[in-house]
Amino acid sequence: MSVMVILVAFSILVAAGFLIAFLWAVKSGQYDDRHTPAMRMLFDDRPTVPKKKETREQNKKTMKSDTKAKPEEEPDLNRPAGSVVTLMREEENRYGS
């Protein structure tokens, strides 16, 4: 029967672990805002560390000159503004205010 003691103690320990995880989640504010994180995760990668002005201008020029040659490079600038945002506007209509 002593095996029961170990099992019961272990099961309560596991349950207590989940309880602590829940209390921690509440305390750290994970239940404060249940809407914004859902929208945030749809953003594309964050903007990189600010580049130096010159290199950026150069980048722009090269991109302009061979847009047709390298079509896969261009959407980088536009993508977040496209479908994701329209999608989110719809979201907003549903949830907002």
Question: Per rule CB under 8 A, is residue 31 in the interface with other proteins?
Answer: yes
* Position 54, amino acid: E
**Whole-angstrom distance, CA of residue 77 vs CA of residue 46:** 12
- Contact pick of 42, 66, 70, 83 for other proteins (by CB under 8 A): 42
**Whole-angstrom distance, CA of residue 80 vs CA of residue 91:** 16
CB of 61 to other proteins, least distance (A): 11
Question: Per rule CB under 8 A, is residue 36 in the interface with other proteins?
Answer: yes
31-52: string of b/e by CB count within 10 Å (b at 16+)? eeeeeeeeeeeeeeeeeeeeee
Residues of this chain that interact with other proteins (CB under 8 A) are 1, 4-5, 8, 11-12, 15-16, 18-19, 22-23, 26-27, 31-33, 35-36, 39-40, 42-43, 46-48, 50-51, 53, 56, 77-78, 80-81, 84-85, 88-89, 91-92, 95-97
